[in-house]
């Protein structure tokens, strides 16, 4: 088996406006990094538009929310319009958003039919801030939460985990998973920082594991928090599949965060998660891009992340 990369040119057409950090150049920077010869073995697929996606979106967001987002997108014809202070919708956003969540569904299919050992979804807009009934933080649909619900509904998996190492807490994934003991959410993130959630005492029904870090924290604190607050309960949870909210804005170069990680730290976390997946989930990992807004830091970090996935999938 192998590692699969899922992306699509439509992600360039989601326009967010001049000066917005979540911009199309992020995709181009990753493309350049993954053009290196060391990634020649990556199997590359285009993110699909799925005829069945509405039913799976509704599992995480509800039918009313889906209709509201579609109606908003349908009325955008020129410059981007904003749902809130930083979440933009342009004429190309609806297709990009559907392909982003479609990438997650496709990735689950590839793992379950044995076509891939793990998958990296290079997508935008990101998803982990989107709550069940609210778009926010650049996010419209919660791509990993939708993929987790799909894995259970389509394939009968009992326990699905999402691990999030974005510098910002994934409030949306936490809110969607909050009352479901068979969905695990674990997050390392900076606090205080947007969106203001992610405290240690936020535990859901014993399925939420937050590991807040302070501005300036580097590898030592990150590894300690990741091992103690994420990996240990994740082993106890014994997931049938591991999904990663792969945000790279904890990199020391990133303008939106204050942590002091380097690309090797993301490689370390990825390797740790591949070990969990091998032990409990037949190696099954779906990684979905979230944040990362310094182009150099993003490109190098994605390269480190994907290189570890490829080693695990070889």
Percent of the chain's residues with pLDDT above 90:
98
Cβ atoms within 10 Å of 50's Cβ, excluding its own: 19
Report whether 128 contacts 43 (CB < 8 A). Answer: no
Using alpha carbons, select from 92, 110, 98 the residue that is nearest to residue 44: 110
Q: What is the mean pLDDT of residues 135-155?
A: 98
Structure tokens at 87: 């979440």
User: By three-state DSSP, how is residue 186 classified?
Assistant: strand
Give 313's pLDDT tier (boundaries 50, 70, 90): confident
d(CA 254, CA 292): 7
d(CA 236, CA 239): 9
- In the predicted structure, residue 1 carries a pLDDT above the cut 80: no
User: Domain spanning 3-313 has what CATH number?
Assistant: 3.40.800.20
- The catalytic residues are 129
5-19 pLDDT, tens digit per residue, is 999 999 999 999 999
- β-strand pairing of 81-82 with 88-89: antiparallel
Q: What is the pLDDT of residue 108?
A: 98
User: pTM here?
Assistant: 0.97
Strand runs labelled E in 2-122: 3-7, 43-46, 81-82, 88-89, 118-121
Residue 2 preceded by cis peptide, ω within 30: no
Strand runs labelled E in the chain: 3-7, 43-46, 81-82, 88-89, 118-121, 160-164, 183-190, 208-213, 241-246, 285-289
266-293 pLDDT, tens digit per residue, is 999 999 999 999 999 999 999 999 999 9
Q: What is the mean pLDDT of residues 109-126?
A: 97
Q: How far is CA 161 from CA 11, 25, 234, 286, in A?
A: 26, 30, 8, 10
206-263 pLDDT, tens digit per residue, is 999 999 999 999 999 999 999 999 999 999 999 999 999 999 999 999 999 999 999 9
d(CA 123, CA 96): 8
């Amino acid at each position: 088996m192998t590692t699969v990369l899922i992306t699509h040119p439509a992600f360039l057409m989601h326009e967010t406006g001049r000066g917005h950090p979540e911009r199309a150049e992020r995709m181009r920077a990753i493309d350049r990094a993954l053009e290196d010869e060391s990634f020649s073995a990556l199997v590359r697929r285009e993110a699909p538009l799925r005829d069945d996606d509405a039913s799976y979106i509704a599992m995480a967001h509800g039918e009313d929310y889906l209709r509201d987002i579609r109606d908003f997108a349908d009325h955008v014809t020129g410059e981007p319009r904003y749902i809130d202070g930083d979440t933009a919708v342009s004429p190309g956003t609806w297709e990009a958003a559907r392909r982003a969540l479609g990438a997650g569904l496709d990735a689950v299919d590839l793992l379950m039919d044995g076509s891939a050992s793990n998958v990296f979804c290079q997508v935008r807009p990101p998803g982990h801030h989107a709550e069940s009934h609210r778009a926010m933080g650049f996010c419209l649909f919660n791509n990993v939460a939708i993929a987790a619900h799909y894995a259970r509904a389509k394939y009968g998996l009992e326990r699905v985990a999402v691990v999030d190492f974005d510098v910002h807490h994934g409030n949306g994934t936490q809110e969607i998973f909050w009352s479901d003991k068979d969905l695990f959410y674990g997050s390392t993130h900076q606090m205080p920082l947007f969106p203001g959630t992610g405290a240690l005492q936020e535990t859901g029904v014993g399925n939420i594991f937050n590991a807040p870090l302070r501005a300036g924290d580097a590898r030592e604190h990150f590894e300690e928090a990741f091992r103690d607050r994420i990996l240990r309960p994740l082993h106890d949870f014994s997931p049938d599949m591991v999904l990663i909210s792969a945000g790279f804005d904890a990199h020391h170069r990133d303008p939106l965060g204050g942590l002091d990680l380097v690309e090797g730290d993301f490689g370390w976390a990825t390797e740790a998660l591949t070990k969990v997946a091998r032990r409990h989930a037949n190696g099954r990992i779906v990684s979905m891009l979230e944040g990362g807004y310094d182009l150099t830091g993003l490109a190098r970090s994605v390269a480190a992340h994907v290189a570890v996935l490829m080693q695990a999938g070889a």
